[in-house]
């Protein structure tokens, strides 16, 4: 018998998981499970797809991400807002060009 390093209860020598506190005793299993505990909507792939799809509306995914640092949050916010502003300006310019072309074609 040995003591659990998390709750100090007596457990079997070859135990993988403590029956008292339900913690895994193997470090490899703990690190794997801690990576998997991140919600699906906080995974990098989903955040990238969300930013490319809806732009600034995906910023709460960045700001509520439990593992992101403040520096990353601020940097990504500035990047997303700058890119969104640029794309907005390009879109407005394209619409104006189409309107001018339409006016020239119709002879107005």
Q: Each residue of 36-68: pLDDT tens digit?
A: 667 778 888 888 899 889 989 999 998 998 888
Question: If we measure between CA atoms, which residue out of 86, 81, 63, 64 comes closest to residue 73?
Answer: 63
Phi, psi for residue 7 in degrees, rounded to 5: -120, -5
Whether the CB-CB separation of 58 and 50 falls below 8 Å is answered with yes
Give the pLDDT of residue 29: 62
Q: The pTM is what?
A: 0.57
Say how far apart CA 39 and CA 68 lie, in whole Å.
13
């Amino acid at each position: 018998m040995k003591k659990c390093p998390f709750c100090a209860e007596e457990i079997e020598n070859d135990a993988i998981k403590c029956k008292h506190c339900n913690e895994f005793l193997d470090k490899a299993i703990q690190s794997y499970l801690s990576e998997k505990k991140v919600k699906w909507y906080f995974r990098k792939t989903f955040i990238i797809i969300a930013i490319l799809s809806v732009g600034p509306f995906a910023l709460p995914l960045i700001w509520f991400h439990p593992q992101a640092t403040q520096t990353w949050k601020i940097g990504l916010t500035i990047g997303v807002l700058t890119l969104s502003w640029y794309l907005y300006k390009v879109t407005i310019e394209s619409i104006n060009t189409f309107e001018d072309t339409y006016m020239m074609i119709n002879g107005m």
